[in-house]
Amino acid sequence: MAYNKYVAPSFESRAFTCPHCDVFSNFEWQQLYRAKGEFSPTYIYIAFCSHCDKFTIWLKFNGMMIWPQDISAAPLPNPDMPEDIQADYIEARSISATSPRGAAALLRLCIQKLCRHLGELGKDINTDIASLVKKGLPIQIQKALDIVRVTGNNAVHPGEMQLQEDPKTVSLIFELVNLIVEHQISQPKAVEEMYGKLPQGAVDAIKKRDGNTNAGTSSSGEV
C-alpha cells in the first residue's frame, strides 16, 4: 500500500518532512535581522515546523540547512518492511549523512535479508536475484536489486565508486529499497486483503472457473 512519501527539506519550501519529528508538515519561514543602528536583514533564515514547533536554520546564500546537522536526506522505511530489515535500514539512514559508504553497505544487507523473506536462501544475493528472475521477478525490480547490490559491494572496494563524494546517490538507494518492498510485499498484501473481502459466493465461483481450490492467489473479476 502507499505510505507517506519522504520529502527532503529544501530552502524556502513551504512543506517538507521535518527532520525533528519525521512528519510531512507545513513550515513558516522567518528571516533574521541584525540591530546595528537600523535593523538590517541577514542571510540566516529560520523555518518553524507546524507539527512539532521545532525549527531548522538555513543559509540564504547557498540554500543549505545548518541546523540540525548531519540530517539524513533518506526517506523513512516502508511500514511493510520486515522488522529485522527496518532495523538495518534505520541504522543506515542514521549514518547516511556522515558515512554514505557505510549506509550503502547496510542497504546491501537489507536486500540480502529481503531475498530470504521472499523465499530465497539469503546467502548469495546474486544467486537469489537470479532465482527470483526465473520465478517472474519484473525487470525493473531486478534492476533495483542489482543497483543496491552493486552499490553496496562497491562501497567496501576502494576505487570503484566514490560514494563519499556523491551522497545523493545513496539517498536514491534508500528509495529503491522502499520500491522493492512496495512491489514485493506491500502490493501483494493489499491485493490479498481486498480479495479476502469478496463474497464467499464469488470466491467459490472463481475456484470453479479456475478448476482449483487455491483461489486465494487468483485474480478476482466478474463472476
Contact (Cβ atoms closer than 8 angstroms) between residue 148 and residue 173: yes
- Tens digits of per-residue pLDDT, 77-102? 999 999 999 999 999 998 887 888 89
Contact (Cβ atoms closer than 8 angstroms) between residue 173 and residue 195: no
Tell me the three cell numbers of residue 180. Answer: 522493492
Size (the chain), residues: 223
**Max CA-CA distance within the chain?**
87
Domain boundaries, the chain: 15-67, 83-195
Mean pLDDT value of segment 59-87: 87
Torsion from C-alpha of 49, 55, 61, 64, nearest 10 degrees: -90
Q: What is the pLDDT of residue 219?
A: 43
Contact (Cβ atoms closer than 8 angstroms) between residue 128 and residue 142: no
pTM for the model stands at: 0.71
> In whole numbers, what is the pLDDT of the chain averaged over residues?
86
Q: CA nearest 194: which of 155, 220, 160, 161?
A: 220
Instruction: Report the C-alpha gap between 39 and 36 in whole angstroms.
Output: 6
Q: What is the pLDDT of residue 86?
A: 95
Q: Is 176 a residue whose pLDDT tops 90? A: yes
- Residue 215: which H helix or E strand, with range? none
The rounded percent of the chain whose pLDDT value lies above 70 is 85
Contact (Cβ atoms closer than 8 angstroms) between residue 123 and residue 88: no
- Residue 144: which H helix or E strand, with range? helix 139-155
Contact (Cβ atoms closer than 8 angstroms) between residue 33 and residue 39: yes
Instruction: Report the C-alpha gap between 78 and 181 in whole angstroms.
Output: 7
Distance between the two ends of the chain, CA-based, in angstroms? 26
